[in-house]
Amino acid sequence: MRGGHVTALRKRAARDATALRLIALAPPAVILFLRAPGTAWPYALAVVTAALACALVFAELRGRGPIFEALVPALLMLLFAPPEAAPWQLALALSLALVLGALVFGGAGFGFLSIGALALALLAFSFPPLVPMVPASPVLWAALPGGGLLLLAGLAPWRVVLAGAAGFALAAGPGDLGFAQAAPLAVLLVYFAADPFGAPVTGPGQWLSGLMVGGMIALLGAPGGPGFDMSAGVFGVLLAGLFAPLIDAGVIAVADWREGVHHG
């Protein structure tokens, strides 16, 4: 009974989070369609079809309804995909990310990685010239209000975002945080690093994870580059995500040890 109750809570949390995350991603997606409709429509058709197809197949296998949570990484991939990619390449990378990173674990709320970051990383691994790109400034500006909504709603842990900015500034130097760096960094931290199901759940763990993400983005990025290195951002998020369960386990173990010492 307890396991079934926890599963039901996870599913409900995933549904609630999906609705707000799609609302947050709608404005930048609209701006992208207005700026480049010839590219956006084929890409959107490819990623949405792939996302819903994978979700429906796993929904049928498990005997429950469609998993619309797959649309969130689909929109993220649409926003950050390089314009030279073919639609089928985006669909393939997204499908692999959804299956390997979420659906085999039970869907959103059960995995431990940012599926959007995993999809972009798989695209770069599978097709080396196709590295993630930073969207145009109007798209970034349109994404910031939605990021604020997610922070206010508690769907993007603020500790991860604040620590990520601090970690980047410490590793790269505060002088590098102009708009060309700050805006894409903020979007990446909110929508990828502060994934509601991929980031650590403990407060200290969120601080540590954010510092790790920000530091790795600065260290992995192109030194002295004119803009933000999105590839470094994606891989920094993925590396931190791999350590997130271990970080939480360590924080909990330390807290239990301190409580045991305190009580004798």
Whole-number pLDDT of residue 143: 95
3-state DSSP call for residue 261? helix
Parts of the chain with a pLDDT under 70: 1-14, 62-67, 105-111, 174-179, 222-227, 262-264
Whole-number pLDDT of residue 9: 44
Whole-number pLDDT of residue 60: 78
Predicted TM-score of the model (pTM): 0.87
Whole-number pLDDT of residue 3: 43
Per DSSP, helices labelled H in 197-264 are 203-220, 230-262
- For the stretch 58-97, pLDDT in tens is 877 766 555 688 899 999 999 999 989 999 999 999 999 9
Whole-number pLDDT of residue 198: 80
Whole-number pLDDT of residue 103: 78
Whole-number pLDDT of residue 197: 79
Rg (Cα) of the chain, in Å, rounded?
18
- For the stretch 141-170, pLDDT in tens is 999 999 999 999 988 999 999 999 999 988
CB atoms within 10 A of CB 15: 14
**8-state DSSP, 221:** S
